[in-house]
């Protein structure tokens, strides 16, 4: 029998609530400010909206537009070292533009899925 692996079968879009803080902006260290953020991975962009409260906030609705967008092309993702945060399950995301973010979830399956998705996205778009 034939099994065809469809490489386009990956989710091109993923969303969920994550805890996020910037730690560097344009190469300059900034003060941490952890916020719970509705996070959307869309193509090679990662979008954050300040959508807490468990309501149906969505970018298309009037209540929350993207607060912050990160271009993942040329960036890198790794697990954050202990000195970056005392929290568990923290991903460190660096962009080509010199922004560094920490992304965290208390739920390890959630953060593991994001780690995989972000890594795949960066690898997929590496040569753009």
Nearer to ligand I3S, 32 or 96 (CB): 32
Nearer Cβ to ligand I3S (65/87)? 87
Min. distance of Cβ 87 from ligand I3S in angstroms? 5
Name which of 81 and 86 has its Cβ closer to ligand I3S: 86
**Rounded distance, CA 62 to CA 52, Å?**
14
Residue 50's φ and ψ, nearest 5 degrees, are -80, 75
Which residues contribute to the site for ligand I3S (CB under 6 A)? 32, 34, 85-87
CA count, 13 A, side-chain hemisphere, 14: 18
CB of 34 to ligand I3S, least distance (A): 5
Q: What's the min distance (Å) between Cβ of 80 and ligand I3S?
A: 9
Closest approach of Cβ 8 to ligand I3S, in Å? Answer: 37
Q: Which is nearer to ligand I3S, 13 or 108 (CB)?
A: 108
Burial class (CB in 10 A: 0-12, 13-18, 19+), 57: middle
Residues 6+ apart with CB under 8 A from 49: 37, 38, 39, 40, 57, 59, 64, 65, 66, 67
């Amino acid at each position: 029998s034939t099994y065809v692996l469809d490489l386009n079968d990956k989710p091109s879009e993923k969303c969920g609530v994550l805890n996020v803080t910037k730690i560097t902006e344009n190469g300059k260290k900034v003060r941490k400010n952890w916020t719970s953020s509705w996070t959307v991975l869309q193509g090679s962009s990662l979008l954050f909206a300040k959508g807490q409260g468990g309501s149906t906030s969505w970018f298309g609705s009037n209540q929350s537009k993207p607060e912050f967008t990160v271009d993942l092309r040329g960036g890198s993702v790794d697990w954050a070292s202990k000195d970056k945060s005392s929290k568990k399950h923290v991903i460190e995301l660096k962009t080509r533009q010199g922004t560094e973010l920490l992304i965290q979830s208390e739920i390890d399956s959630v953060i593991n899925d994001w780690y995989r998705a972000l890594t795949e996205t960066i690898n997929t778009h590496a040569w753009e």
